[in-house]
């Protein structure tokens, strides 16, 4: 498939996702009316007036079209709840999410890649086995459980300030990925170590350290890159569980609250951001993968 | 050895799930003398373990152990239900994508992309909000219905590879119908991969179900579930008895499934890179 | 004052009655005559120790207000509370004796027919930006509220009956209303007055002053960091007695467990509306006992279960009373509320003249309930373990909103109790926005909520039959005698006579039992002993502008 076609696909998928979200959020039961506070209790006339003020009297296609046009210039409208621009909400939430998710991603890769290489090349079978099993167990620990346990032990001990500390949420977002990426790295390193190039080098009698550096690592380190592309939308989407337990106001909680309150403009804005990042990173990953590995021509 | 342990753990939980009603009920002759939905009016909510309630009570003053035992039922129902659905959808979409016409491949790949763009939690929240009486089936549907894209990708790649193999080409040359080829020559080769996916799928689905219940958007409150028990712990931070036992139960089952998945086949390295809970 | 707290807190499942135009269904209003506080621990902590000027108070807030323009949707409790320090209304109830005290108005006259109100405004009042306050600001405020383009659907109902607002001169404003009603004066004097010169330019709905208000009050806003904190600083040029504390810092901590932890760590001076178990946990902490007042204020809410009379089974008062008798309210109070709340028998504010202290709750009596149900024709004729009548089983669904663990506790309890009485109950938890929509459409069997209780309320929007379609009478209570009493009370301007009518109404409500009253809920809070001037209004609110640091200046 040509790159142009691929880009066209991304655009169409984006349209489909946002249109579907729009229709879903409008037809979901429950009324976003918040005249007298969250959810509200009012008569029909009051509620009709409220919707009228928010441009909800028009036909659905008109509303969606208007939203789409405005969103092209990054204008996602105003929140139903506090009438602030959705963009402001998104910027604030992305700020916290990027901080936590960015730190978690850095930490994950900084730990997982050396670990994976170590596990693949280590000759200390026992130690490697223990580390490997430890990672395996960590991977099975549900995030909300890990977060609760951490919260239970650390918050109560008073070691960290109660509020505003990003250490615990970062840890909770780090450990599940650690196992995943370390094991992926391990597999990739093993694969590289068994490649014909390495066998040839070894047959030529090159020193082991040089082989590792020049042939194995160089080949193996490109592998986790494509994984990062796949992780990106997840990191940006924010983790509802972690954000909820540690009261972080990130993308997860923003979207969660917006869905609960039927704050359609915020739901749409958040969906658009996450969808576009997901689609673009998948596009980039594919293109990158194709460039690195000519056999892959999807 | 480790595989046997894993099978033993899964079998033990399965036995507990099947025998739940015999093990814990308030009709007498039970190991635990409480039904999962009996409210003990003599205690305050979230009371710590004692002689009457070996693992304490939950927020609604129900016996934690009884709910843990009955919760195994839900865990299996949702875990297996969602994993089977996921494998079924992943296989169907992957085959159609890999063996079908190009336009279908393109459409299905974009569909996978679209689903991957949404965290499962939001799908669940949206669907739970639309349906008037969200129940257990819906949780299965949501989890299974949104977890298939990674498997579909693997199936698609494998199918494409098989399509170029001599035995498939030979069958096609002899005039075999696509359905026949897929059934006789492609699917059998995918079996190990599907078994691995199923094992990991059960573990993941179990975890996702617990996370949804934990957030209050899983099965109804009245249904005993491990995640639901732990929800109470978020409000009562000191209540370790609401976290430890259900958490360990969940961990043991998820680990057992993952061990089984990993021992079943070589494709595991890739499948383990699926994301778990929302 | 009157609607200082007339709001719904979504996550708590509290609700305030609908407010609309006066003719159809005005919302309950409030005015408490001077009387002693009935709470256990307030106000003894007030006015103690030497007073020091200056200092900072750190208040933990569970929800962040959407904006600080209390006229705009949504009407938010915390937003109104903070706006109280920044904006002022024409008159304000003195929180200690609950008598209207002049604020921006110096005095007022009410005409014989209770339809014309003439206010003399205070001279020399300055907005925070130094501009003078005049009658133009008052007229502007009411014009904005009445403007259909202004995003104030929640508050507009209050001012709809006002037919005219005229500035006779820069310091005299006259209001006319369409018909006499005892609540009218409160409605007018409760509206916060806005600066015309600030809002004149730009869109009122999205004006930057909605987040950075310019008022005349004792505090000015200096900083609002979204999702984090909001800081007010003392208005040094206030025309009256200035506040004592230099700074009020409202710190946003949505998680209850985290708020409690911050109290323990000394990171907060005030936390309010604690759950009973949290309050108990904190009060058990010996280290905190020396540092904090543990306050159990006024009963500011009433928790109930409603039975939809549109459903045939609940149309019979005997069945509704049987439901009440099957629910062990003592157990709920003792074990679920840890004995901190009290059983309720009357719909009105405990201690107020409207509250009929002679009413006692229906007893918890499953046998009596069974007898009542049998009388009403419900028997298990087909032997399937569930009562039935005319081929219909006695089965219903209990609807409740998410996010308050109390509802899950109630659902589990009711299911148990009803099953023992051969009644089949299923329960369903719904998101708040879905839940309230179902109530509005009367699409439920049984539901549960908290009504905010006000020192003096008008039950009309909740209990008049006309409020079934147009107000908050979701359970569909319809009673000719009740309608007559409610209509009569609205035209009665003598508090005592009005209270007598309401007492008769509440006895009637007790007989009919359209809802099961579970308990009167108390506001539970903790306040640092570093502060004096601590007291609670009858709404359970603190007035931080009267707080001061105890002790000699540091």
Q: pLDDT (tens digit, 9 = 90+) per residue, A3-36? A: 788 888 889 989 988 998 888 887 777 777 765 5
Check residues C516 and A105 and name the one with the higher pLDDT: C516
Give the nearest chain C residue to B60 (CA atoms). C409
Q: What pLDDT digit, counting tens, does each position of B39-94 carry?
A: 999 999 999 999 999 999 999 999 999 999 999 999 999 999 999 999 999 999 99
A26 near C CB under 8 A: no
The residue among B36 and B166 whose pLDDT is bigger is B36
Rounded to an integer, the average pLDDT of A242-266 is 87
**In the predicted model, what is the mean pLDDT of residues C239-263?**
90
d(CA C335, CA C326): 17
> Tell me: the pLDDT tens digits for C278-337?
888 888 888 888 888 888 878 888 999 999 999 999 999 999 999 999 999 999 999 999
- Give φ, ψ of C236 to 5 degrees: -70, -25
Query: Is B92:B190 a contact under the CB 8 Å cutoff?
Result: no
B137 interface with A at CB cutoff 8 Å: no
- The shortest C-alpha distance from A182 to chain C (Å) reads 34
Q: Is the model's pLDDT at A156 over the cut of 80?
A: no
pLDDT at C136 over 90: yes
- CB within 8 Å: B39 and C405: no
- Per the CB < 8 A criterion, the answer to whether B126 and B183 are in contact is no
Selected residue of B10, B101, B117 to mutate for chain A interface (largest A Cβ count, 10 A): B117
Say whether pLDDT at C5 is over 80: no
> Of C433, C434, C452, C468, which to mutate for an interface test with A (greatest number of A Cβ within 10 Å)?
C433
Shortest CB distance from A145 goes to which of B121, B215, B247?
A: B247
Structure tokens at A130: 């223990």
B209-214 average pLDDT score: 88
CB pairs under 8 A between B and C: 65
Q: How confident is the model at residue C15 (pLDDT cuts 50, 70, 90)?
A: very low
Chain Cα centroid distance, residue B212 = 12
Question: Is it the case that residue B159 has pLDDT exceeding 70?
Answer: yes
Contact A144 B129 (CB under 8 A): no
Residue A205 has pLDDT above 90, yes or no: no
C237-258 mean pLDDT: 91
Give the pLDDT confidence score for residue A41 in this predicted structure.
47
Mean pLDDT for B230-258 is: 88
Q: pLDDT digit string (tens) for C27-51? A: 233 333 323 334 334 444 445 668 8
For residue C28, list chain A residues with Cβ-Cβ distance below 8 A: none
Q: Can you give the pLDDT at residue C11?
A: 34
- Tell me the HSE value of C505 on the side-chain side, using a 13 A CA sphere: 31
pLDDT attached to residue B129:
64
Chains meeting B at 3+ CB pairs closer than 8 A? A, C
In this complex, the residue of B106, B116, B234 whose CB is nearest that of residue A245 is B234
Here the tokens at position B52 are 């009457």
* Confidence label for C458 from pLDDT (cuts 50, 70 and 90): confident
Average pLDDT over residues A131-146: 88
Q: CA–CA distance from C266 to each of C63, C269, C282, C525 (Å)? A: 20, 7, 12, 15
Is pLDDT of A196 > 80? yes
Query: What ipTM was reported for this prediction?
Result: 0.88
What does the DSSP assignment read for C160-207?
TTEEEEEEEETTEEEEEESS--TTHHHHHHTSBP--HHHHSSS-TTT-
Query: What pLDDT sits at residue C509?
Result: 95
Q: Would you say residue B213 has pLDDT above 60?
A: yes
Q: Does the pLDDT of residue A47 top 90, yes or no?
A: no
Does residue C76 register a pLDDT over 50? yes
Helix axes B240-264, B2-18, angle to 10 degrees: 130
Q: Residue B30: how many CB atoms within 10 A of its CB?
A: 16
Distances (CA, A) of C375 to A264, B61, C389, C548: 51, 33, 11, 62
Mean pLDDT of chain C: 86
> Across residues C429-440, what is the average pLDDT?
84
Give the residue-averaged pLDDT of A185-196: 84
Mean pLDDT of C263-287: 88
- pLDDT higher for C158 or C363? C363
Residue C119 clears pLDDT 80, i.e. is over it: yes
Alpha helices, DSSP H, located in C105-180: 135-146, 153-159
Instruction: Provide the pLDDT for residue C37.
Output: 36
Average pLDDT over residues C13-17: 42
Confidence band, pLDDT 50/70/90 cuts, at residue B272: very low
Q: How many contacts does A have with C, using Cβ atoms within 8 A?
A: 135
pLDDT value of position C31: 33
Q: Compute the average pLDDT of residues A144-172.
A: 79
Task: Output the average pLDDT for chain B.
Answer: 87
Instruction: Express each pLDDT in C140-189 by its tens digit.
Output: 999 999 888 888 877 777 787 889 999 999 999 999 998 888 888 888 99
Share of chain C above pLDDT 90, in %: 55
Q: Has residue B19 got a pLDDT over 60?
A: yes
By CA distance, what is C469's nearest residue in A?
Answer: A43
Across A15-19, B173-177, C4-8, least confident range: C4-8
Q: For residue A81, give the nearest of C66, C227, C261 by CB distance.
A: C66
pLDDT at C20 over 80: no
pLDDT at residue A232 in the model: 72
Q: Is the model's pLDDT at A49 over the cut of 70?
A: yes
Instruction: Give yes or no for residue B206 having a pLDDT over 70.
Output: yes
pLDDT at site C38: 40
Which tens digit of pLDDT belongs to each residue from A106-124? Answer: 999 899 989 988 888 888 8
Tokens at residue B36, please? 């999962």
Q: With 70 as the cut, is the pLDDT of residue B268 above it? A: no
Alpha-carbon distance of C343 to C346, in angstroms, equals 10
N- to C-terminal Cα distance for chain C? 35
Give C 439-458 residues with CB within 8 A of chain A.
Answer: 439-440
Asked if residue C402 has pLDDT above 90, the reply is no
Q: What is the pLDDT of residue B265?
A: 63
Residues of chain B with C-beta less than 8 angstroms from the C-beta of A144: 210-211, 214-215, 227, 230, 277
pLDDT of residue C133: 97
Determine the pLDDT at residue C19. 40
Closest residue in A to B216 (Cα) is A241
Q: Which residues lie closer than 8 Å to C232 by C-beta, 6 or more apart?
A: C82, C85, C86, C219, C220, C221, C222, C247, C248, C249, C250
Residues of C in contact with A50 (CB under 8 A): 73, 153
Contact C427/B59, CB-based, under 8 Å? no
Mean pLDDT of the residues in chain A: 82
pLDDT at B117: 73
pLDDT tens profile A285-298: 777 766 665 554 44
Q: Which residues contact B76 (CB under 8 A, 6 or more apart)?
A: B13, B14, B17
Q: Look at residue B15 in the predicted model and tell me its pLDDT.
A: 96
Can you read off the two tokens belonging to residue C192? 């916060």
- Report the Cα–Cα distance between both ends of chain A, in Å, rounded: 7
C18 vs C494, residue with greater confidence = C494
Rounded CA-CA distance C29/C1 in Å is 9
Sign of the CA dihedral B125, B130, B134, B140?
negative
- pLDDT band with cut points at 50, 70 and 90 for residue C95: low
Residue A188 CA to residue A113 CA, distance in Å, equals 10
Residue A58: which pLDDT band, with cuts at 50, 70 and 90? Answer: confident
**For residues C38 and C316, what is the distance between their CA atoms, to the nearest angstrom?**
36
Cα–Cα distances (Å) from C329 to B230, C137, C423, C447, C501, in that order, read 27, 51, 18, 16, 28
CA distance A66 to B145: 31
Strands in C178-318 per DSSP E: 219-225, 229-234, 247-252, 270-271, 292-307
Tell if the CB–CB gap between C75 and A261 is shorter than 8 Å.
no
What per-residue confidence (pLDDT) applies to A235? 74
Question: Looking at CA atoms only, how far is residue B270 from chain C in angstroms?
Answer: 38
Mutate to test the interface with B, among A26, A144, A151 (most CBs of B within 10 A): A144
Tell me the β-bridge partners of C426.
C397
| Residue A277 binned pLDDT confidence (cut-offs 50, 70, 90) | confident
* For chain C, percent of residues with pLDDT exceeding 70: 90
Closest CA to A135 of B205, B198, B243, B262: B262
More confident residue, C206 or C395: C395
Q: What is the pLDDT of residue B261?
A: 86
Residues of chain C positioned with their CB less than 8 A from the CB of A82:
66-67
């Amino acid at each position: 498939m040509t790159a142009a076609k691929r880009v066209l696909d991304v655009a169409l998928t984006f349209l489909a996702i946002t249109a579907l979200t729009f229709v879903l959020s409008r037809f979901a039961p429950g009324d976003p009316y918040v005249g007298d506070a969250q959810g509200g209790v009012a008569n029909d006339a009051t509620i009709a007036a409220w919707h009228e003020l928010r441009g909800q009297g028009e036909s659905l296609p008109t509303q969606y079209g208007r939203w789409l046009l405005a969103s092209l210039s990054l204008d996602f409208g105003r929140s139903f709840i506090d009438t602030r621009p959705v963009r402001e909400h998104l910027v604030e939430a992305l700020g916290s999410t990027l901080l936590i998710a960015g730190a978690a991603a850095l930490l994950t890769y900084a730990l997982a890649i050396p670990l994976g290489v170590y596990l693949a090349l280590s000759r200390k079978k026992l130690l490697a086995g223990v580390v490997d099993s430890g990672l395996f167990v960590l991977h099975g620990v549900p995030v909300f459980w890990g977060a609760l346990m951490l919260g239970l032990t650390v918050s109560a001990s008073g070691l960290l300030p109660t509020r505003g500390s990003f250490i615990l949420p970062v840890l909770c977002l780090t450990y599940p990925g650690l196992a995943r990426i370390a094991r992926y790295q391990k597999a990739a390193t093993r694969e590289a170590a068994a490649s014909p190039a390495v066998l040839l080098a070894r047959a030529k009698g090159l020193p082991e350290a040089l082989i590792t550096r020049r042939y194995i690592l160089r080949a193996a380190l490109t592998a986790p890159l494509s994984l990062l592309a796949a992780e990106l939308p997840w990191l940006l989407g924010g983790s509802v569980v972690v954000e909820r337990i540690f009261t972080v106001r990130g993308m997860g909680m923003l979207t969660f609250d917006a869905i609960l309150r039927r704050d359609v403009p915020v739901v749409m804005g958040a969906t658009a951001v996450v969808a576009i990042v997901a689609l673009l990173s998948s596009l980039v990953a594919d293109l990158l993968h194709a460039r690195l590995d000519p056999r892959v021509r999807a | 050895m480790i595989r046997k342990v894993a099978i033993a753990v899964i079998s033990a939980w399965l036995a507990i799930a099947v025998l739940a009603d015999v093990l814990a009920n308030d009709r007498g002759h039970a190991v635990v003398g409480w039904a999962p939905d009996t409210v003990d009016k003599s205690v305050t909510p979230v009371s710590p373990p004692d002689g009457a309630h070996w693992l304490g009570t939950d927020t609604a003053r129900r016996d934690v152990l009884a709910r843990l035992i009955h919760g195994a039922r839900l865990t299996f129902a949702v875990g297996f239900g969602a994993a089977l659905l996921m494998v079924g959808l992943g296989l169907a979409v992957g085959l159609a994508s890999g063996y079908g016409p190009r336009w279908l491949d393109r459409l299905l790949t974009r569909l996978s992309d679209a689903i991957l763009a949404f965290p499962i939690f939001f799908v669940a929240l949206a669907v739970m909000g639309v349906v008037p009486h969200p129940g257990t089936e819906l949780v299965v549907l949501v989890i299974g219905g949104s977890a298939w894209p990674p498997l579909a990708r693997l199936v698609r790649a494998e199918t494409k590879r098989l399509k170029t193999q001599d035995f498939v080409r030979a069958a096609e040359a002899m005039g075999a119908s696509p359905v026949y080829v897929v059934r006789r020559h492609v699917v059998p080769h995918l079996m190990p991969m599907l078994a691995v996916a199923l094992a990991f799928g059960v573990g993941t689905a179990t975890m996702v179900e617990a996370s949804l219940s934990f957030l209050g958007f899983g099965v109804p409150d009245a249904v005993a579930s491990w995640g639901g028990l732990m929800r109470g712990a978020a409000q009562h931070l000191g209540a370790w008895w609401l976290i430890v036992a259900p958490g360990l139960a969940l961990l043991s089952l998820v680990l057992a499934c993952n061990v089984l998945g990993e021992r079943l086949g070589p494709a595991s390295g890739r499948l383990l890179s699926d994301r778990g809970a929302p | 004052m009157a609607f200082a707290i007339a709001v719904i807190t979504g996550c708590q499942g509290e609700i305030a009655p609908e407010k609309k135009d006066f003719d159809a269904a005005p919302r309950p209003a409030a005015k408490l005559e001077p009387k002693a506080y009935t709470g256990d621990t307030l106000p003894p902590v007030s006015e103690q120790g030497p007073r020091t000027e200056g200092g900072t108070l750190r208040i933990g807030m569970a929800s962040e207000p959407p904006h600080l323009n209390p006229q705009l949707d949504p009407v938010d409790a915390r937003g109104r509370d903070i706006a109280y320090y920044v904006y002022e209304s024409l008159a304000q109830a003195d929180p200690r004796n609950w008598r209207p005290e002049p604020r921006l108005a110096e005095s007022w006259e009410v005409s014989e027919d209770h339809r014309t109100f003439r206010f003399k405004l205070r001279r020399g009042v300055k907005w925070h930006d130094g501009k003078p306050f005049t009658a133009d600001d008052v007229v502007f405020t009411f014009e904005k509220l009445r403007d259909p383009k202004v995003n104030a659907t929640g508050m507009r109902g209050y001012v709809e009956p006002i037919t005219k607002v005229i500035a006779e001169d820069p310091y005299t404003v006259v209001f006319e209303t369409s018909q006499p009603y005892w609540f009218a004066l409160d409605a007018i004097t409760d509206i916060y007055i806005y600066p015309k010169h600030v809002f004149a330019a730009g869109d009122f709905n999205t004006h930057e002053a909605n987040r950075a208000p310019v008022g005349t009050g004792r505090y000015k806003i200096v900083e609002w960091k979204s999702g984090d904190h909001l800081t007010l600083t003392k208005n040094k040029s206030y025309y009256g007695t200035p506040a004592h504390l230099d700074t009020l810092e409202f710190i946003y901590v949505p998680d209850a467990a985290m708020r409690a932890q911050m109290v323990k760590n000394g990171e907060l001076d005030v936390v309010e509306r604690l759950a009973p178990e949290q309050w108990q946990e904190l009060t058990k902490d010996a280290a905190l006992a020396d540092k904090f007042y543990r306050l159990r204020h006024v009963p500011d809410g009433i928790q109930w279960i409603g039975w939809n009379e549109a459903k045939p089974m609940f149309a019979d008062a005997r069945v509704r009373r049987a439901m009440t008798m099957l629910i062990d309210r003592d157990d709920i109070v003792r074990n679920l509320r840890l004995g901190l709340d009290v059983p309720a028998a009357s719909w009105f504010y405990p201690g107020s003249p409207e509250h009929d202290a002679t009413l006692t709750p229906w007893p918890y009596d499953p046998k009596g309930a069974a007898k009542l149900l049998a009388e009403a024709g419900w028997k298990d004729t087909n032997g399937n373990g569930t009562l039935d009548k005319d081929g219909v089983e006695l089965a219903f669904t209990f609807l409740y909103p998410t996010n308050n663990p109390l509802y899950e506790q109630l659902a589990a309890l009711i299911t148990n109790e009803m099953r023992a009485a051969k009644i089949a109950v299923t329960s369903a938890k719904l998101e708040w926005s879905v839940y309230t929509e179902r109530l509005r459409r009367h699409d439920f069997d049984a539901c549960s909520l908290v009504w905010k209780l006000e020192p003096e309320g008008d039950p009309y929007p909740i209990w008049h039959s006309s409020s079934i379609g147009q107000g908050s009478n979701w359970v569909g209570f319809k009673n000719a005698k009740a309608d007559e009493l409610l209509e009569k009370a609205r035209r009665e301007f003598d508090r005592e006579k009005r209270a007598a009518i309401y007492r008769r109404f509440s006895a009637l409500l007790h007989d009919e039992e359209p809802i099961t009253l579970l308990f009167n809920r108390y506001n539970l809070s903790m306040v640092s002993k570093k502060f004096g001037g601590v007291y609670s209004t009858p709404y359970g609110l603190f007035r931080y502008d009267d707080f001061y640091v105890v002790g000699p200046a540091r």
